[in-house]
Structure 1
């Protein structure tokens, strides 16, 4: 079996699923990928320590957002669970002396199901969501390295966040096609150069090395999934490239594929 790529994608809020450009970009991206045996996804919207495995049987989605029209709370994504993958994750991390918990009632949150519904709309690929046990870039990078062998078993590892994410500067009155503010564009350019240039040291220290880092990410949970993806491609690095770029309400939706 050929090695699966690893992805970092910008998932956005539920209304991003109404954006015809973004949904087409995701569909086109998947069309060029090999079909995975299973998907392991880390979302910006689930932090729990120690690392926690989500449901391995079908359970309701987690609608972890407020104030949206009712139709967003009726979205379903009935993908199969992945108990075998969960056991593989447990073995890999236990071997490294890392404890693993299980939350059997924890369904996919919108950082997972919103993009997956556009990428794999038939919901016929097993999905396992795992928590981020920390926001420390180095520890998440090491977590990705521990999970990397799964790629040789047909598992698509996905980090789901957003390349710039500052909701205090978010202005819905400007519309989805608004020009990005300077801080968003500066950080996006830097992230593109650092990722495609594989400047891992700078990325791990992005709070000090990236321009406008504290404006682009006042809290780092939406950039943090990138480090899991980076780590999953660290030992046998392949090509790193941006597959999606551009902005949504001024926020950078740049997304990367490794190998």
Structure 2
């Protein structure tokens, strides 16, 4: 792992996993080991694949119930709690950084953390003692999401951990037809993405639907790859200081997770 700029938090993109992530024999330990090597953040800003809202929205700044945005799972997954402190001061900073003519920022004060936010946080910060704020993705356009990330980048110098939470490959429908193991489209896209990131080929990543092998099969809808572009924007200047913190596959999907800085 390369050294980060002193005093600056890294920016992360993580593959967040479904609620059964907690029962995986390997993945929770990987996330816990990753977080143990991070500087302690003053707050965490989460951008999840599971919240699209325009104009851009800020979630609850005081603790409210989680959003159990999944169906058909055993009952105990709906009893998980993550009572992190709210982050009203961070919300005010985000408003100032993002609000502009033609770019309003709205508040949805009863919107709790969804599973793209709390599932990995339970493993990475189990004490739930770091304030957390979730913001929506107002678009899936990679260029616009990178611009949002750039505007959020100053938060890293204020101790805020900016986290884009998605999944490096995500096509559940195709998995139902490919049987066990890692399907070729998932492995090919993961390898292409790794190489593009190593080369800091941001242009290729922005055009992943056309440039990547099986790009449209790995992401038939792009919401799980989209948070990466918020992270890339926030990490600009540190894109050459990138490493893969978690790799491999889970149920055929690439769980590649990245740290910049």
**TM-score normalized by structure 2?**
0.95
| Structure 2 match to 1:133 | 138
SS in 1 for 2:26: helix
Shift of the alpha carbon at 1:233? 1.1
CA RMSD of aligned residues (A): 1.5
Give the Cα–Cα distance (whole angstroms) in 2 for the partners of residues 61 and 172 of structure 1. 32
Q: What is the count of residue pairs matched by the alignment? A: 256
| Structure 2 match to 1:222 | 224
| Structure 2 match to 1:54 | 59
Q: Deviations over 1:114-161 (max 9, x none)?
A: 000000000000000000000000000000000000000000000000
Give the Cα–Cα distance (whole angstroms) in 2 for the partners of residues 96 and 155 of structure 1. 25
Shift of the alpha carbon at 1:214? 0.9
Give the Cα–Cα distance (whole angstroms) in 2 for the partners of residues 113 and 212 of structure 1. 30
- Is 1:19 equivalent to 2:24 in the alignment? yes
Give the Cα–Cα distance (whole angstroms) in 2 for the partners of residues 24 and 172 of structure 1. 30
Asked whether the equivalents of residues 175 and 183 of structure 2 are also in contact (C-alpha less than 8 Å), the reply is no
Give the Cα–Cα distance (whole angstroms) in 1 for the partners of residues 152 and 188 of structure 2. 31
Shift of the alpha carbon at 1:98? 2.3
| Structure 2 match to 1:110 | 115
Asked whether the equivalents of residues 161 and 226 of structure 1 are also in contact (C-alpha less than 8 Å), the reply is yes
1:208 is aligned, of 193, 207, 210, to: 210
Q: Deviations over 1:166-194 (max 9, x none)?
A: 010234996xxx53100000000011111
Q: Deviations over 1:7-57 (max 9, x none)?
A: 000011111121121000000001111000000000000000011000000
Give the Cα–Cα distance (whole angstroms) in 2 for the partners of residues 212 and 8 of structure 1. 21
SS in 1 for 2:99: helix
- Is 1:181 equivalent to 2:186 in the alignment? no
**TM-score normalized by structure 1?**
0.96
Which sections of structure 1, spanning at least 5 residues, go unmatched? Answer: none
